[in-house]
């Protein structure tokens, strides 16, 4: 059950990640000021990523481990670290200096890292 939930959440992570990228790109293209929606989308993305990692950690605690999993774990920890770093950077900036660019760049990077992490265990990214 944990494996199904963990694997299924990757689709939610990918979907919300694409929404973050699209909204950040739209905000940058239109020159809109940084807004509450971007903050909520980014927090939702990080939260779903955290939940997925928690399910993965629970699987490890229950004894699910094999050699290819090492690369997967390293990549996912890197993705989590990037997601939380962006959140910290944005929160530390004064409101008038917040932009969409960190979310756009970081989410693209995170989805790339996640993709490599999924491929590390021999699974397709989608499918």
What does the pLDDT read at residue 94? Answer: 95
Whether pLDDT at 127 is above 80: no
Tell me: pLDDT of 6 over 90.
Answer: no
Taking residues 111-115, what's their average pLDDT? 95
- When the pLDDT of each residue in the chain is averaged and rounded to a whole number, the result is 93
Please say if the pLDDT value at position 32 is more than 80. Answer: yes
Q: How confident is the model at residue 65 (pLDDT cuts 50, 70, 90)?
A: confident
Question: 38-64, pLDDT tens digit by residue?
Answer: 999 999 999 999 999 999 999 889 887
What contacts 24+ positions apart, CB below 8 Å, involve 55-62?
Answer: 55/2, 55/5, 55/6, 55/9, 56/6, 58/2, 59/2, 59/3, 59/6, 62/2
DSSP assignment of 19-54 equals HHHHHHHHHHHHTPPP-HHHHHHHHHHHHHHHHHHH
In this predicted model, what pLDDT tens digit does every residue of 20-29 receive, in sequence order? Answer: 999 999 999 9
Taking the CB of residue 11, how many other CB atoms lie within 10 A of it?
11
Quick check: 81 and 126 in contact, CB under 8 A?
no
Residue 2 has pLDDT above 90, yes or no: no
């Amino acid at each position: 059950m944990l494996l199904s939930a963990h694997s299924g959440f990757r689709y939610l992570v990918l979907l919300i990640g694409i929404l973050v990228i699209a909204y950040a790109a739209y905000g940058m293209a239109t020159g809109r000021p940084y807004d509450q929606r971007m903050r909520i989308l980014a927090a939702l993305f990080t939260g779903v990523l955290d939940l997925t990692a928690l399910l993965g950690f629970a699987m490890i605690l229950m004894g699910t481990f094999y050699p290819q999993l090492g690369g997967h774990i390293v990549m996912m920890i890197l993705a989590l670290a990037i997601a939380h770093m962006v959140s910290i950077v944005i929160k530390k900036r004064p409101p008038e200096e917040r932009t969409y660019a960190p979310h756009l760049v970081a989410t693209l990077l995170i989805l790339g890292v996640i993709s490599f992490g999924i491929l590390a265990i021999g699974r397709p990214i989608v499918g």
